[in-house]
C-alpha cells in the first residue's frame, strides 16, 4: 500500500455517509470528497456480500478519478426476517425506494413480531483501494440492537429512526454524529480501516 493519501474520493453521494466518513478521516489529515464532485454516477451493486459491493464501488470511483477511493456497503439484518433486508437494505421497498418507504415496509413485516423477538444488527464493510492496485483494504463492523415499532429521532438516515440501541436507550436517529461514530457498524468499520491505513 502506498503512503497515506491527501485526498480520497468517496464512492457515494449520500450526505449522511460523507459527514460520518469525513469526520473520521479528517483526523488523519485526509480530505474526503464525494464522487458526485467528479460527475460520477452510481455503479451497479451486484455483489452477493457487503464486501463485494464495497469493493465494486471503490474500484469504480478510483478507476474514473485516478484517485484513492473509499466505499462502504452496509445494511440491516433482522433476526425475525432471516437476515433480510441485508444487502438489499437500500432498495428493500422496490426500485423507487427511499428511507421512508423502506422503513414502512420493514415495520409492516414486523407488525406481528413480539418485542423480545425484534433483534437486529447493522453490518458494514468498508473498502479502500488505490488506482490500478490489485490489493484492497477491507474492514467490517457490526451494531446490535432491536427494531422499534415506530420512528424515534430526526438525525441520521436509512433505518436509523427504528433501530434502537438497548445499551444506551436511544435510537440511532437520536444520536449525534460523534456518538453514532463511536457505536455504529460504519464507525467501527471506518475506524478499523483508518487504523489499517495509518499503519500501512
**What is the per-residue pLDDT across 64-74, written as a single tens digit (0 to 9) for each?**
999 999 999 99
- What's the number of domains the chain is made of? 1
| In-domain check, residue 149 | yes
- Cα(10)–Cα(33) distance, integer angstroms: 6
pLDDT band at residue 200 using 50, 70 and 90 as cut-offs = low
> Is 2 among the domain residues?
no
Residue 141 lies in a domain: yes
**23 in any annotated domain:** yes
- Using the predicted structure, report yes or no on whether residue 2 has a pLDDT greater than 80: no
Q: Which residues are designated catalytic?
A: 73
Residue 122 lies in a domain: yes
pTM for the complete prediction?
Answer: 0.87
> What pLDDT is recorded for position 3?
67
Predicted confidence (pLDDT) at residue 47 exceeds the cutoff of 60? yes
**Separation between Cα atoms, residue 158 and residue 59, nearest integer Å:** 24
Residues 6+ apart with CB under 8 A from 157: 14, 16, 17, 99
**188 within a domain of the structure (yes/no):** yes
Question: Would you give the DSSP letter of residue 40?
Answer: P
Position 1 in a domain: no
3-state secondary structure 109-121: HCCCCCHHHCEEE
Out of 7-11, 91-95, 178-182, pick the least confident: 178-182
Place of cell 409492516: 108
Q: Which residues constitute the domain of residue 93?
A: 7-199
Q: Is the pLDDT of residue 128 over 90?
A: yes
Q: Assign residue 23 the CATH number of its domain.
A: 3.90.950.10
179 touches 135 (CB < 8 A)? no
143-187 residue pLDDT tens: 999 999 999 999 988 999 999 999 999 999 999 988 988 899 988
Residues contacting residue 106 through CB under 8 Å, at least 6 positions apart: 76, 78, 85, 92, 147, 159, 162
Q: Is residue 185 a part of any domain in this protein? A: yes
Q: Read off the pLDDT band of 98 (50, 70, 90).
A: very high
The three grid cell numbers given for residue 160, joined into one nine-digit string: 436509523
Among residues 104, 113, 177, 178, which one has the least CA distance to residue 146? 113
Residue 45 has pLDDT above 90, yes or no: no
Residue 197: pLDDT above 90?
A: no
Structure-model confidence comparison of residues 105 and 43, the more confident one: 105
Amino acid at each position: 500500500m502506498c503512503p497515506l493519501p491527501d485526498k480520497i474520493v468517496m464512492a457515494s453521494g449520500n450526505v449522511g455517509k460523507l459527514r460520518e466518513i469525513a469526520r473520521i478521516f479528517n483526523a488523519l489529515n485526509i480530505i474526503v470528497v464525494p464522487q458526485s464532485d467528479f460527475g460520477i454516477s452510481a455503479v451497479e451493486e451486484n455483489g452477493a456480500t457487503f464486501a463485494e459491493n464495497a469493493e465494486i464501488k471503490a474500484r469504480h470511483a478510483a478507476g474514473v478519478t485516478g484517485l484513492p477511493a473509499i466505499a462502504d456497503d452496509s445494511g440491516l439484518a433482522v433476526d425475525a426476517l432471516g437476515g433480510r433486508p441485508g444487502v438489499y437494505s437500500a432498495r428493500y421497498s422496490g426500485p423507487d425506494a427511499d428511507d421512508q418507504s423502506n422503513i414502512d415496509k420493514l415495520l409492516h413485516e414486523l407488525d406481528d413480531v413480539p418485542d423480545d423477538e425484534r433483534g437486529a444488527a447493522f453490518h458494514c464493510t468498508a473498502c479502500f483501494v488505490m488506482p490500478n492496485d490489485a490489493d484492497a483494504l477491507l474492514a467490517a463492523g457490526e451494531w446490535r440492537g432491536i427494531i422499534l415499532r415506530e420512528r424515534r429521532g430526526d438525525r441520521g438516515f436509512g433505518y436509523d429512526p427504528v433501530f434502537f440501541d438497548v445499551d444506551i436507550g436511544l435510537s440511532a436517529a437520536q444520536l449525534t454524529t460523534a456518538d453514532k461514530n463511536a457505536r455504529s457498524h460504519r464507525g467501527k468499520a471506518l475506524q478499523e480501516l483508518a487504523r489499517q491505513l495509518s499503519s500501512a
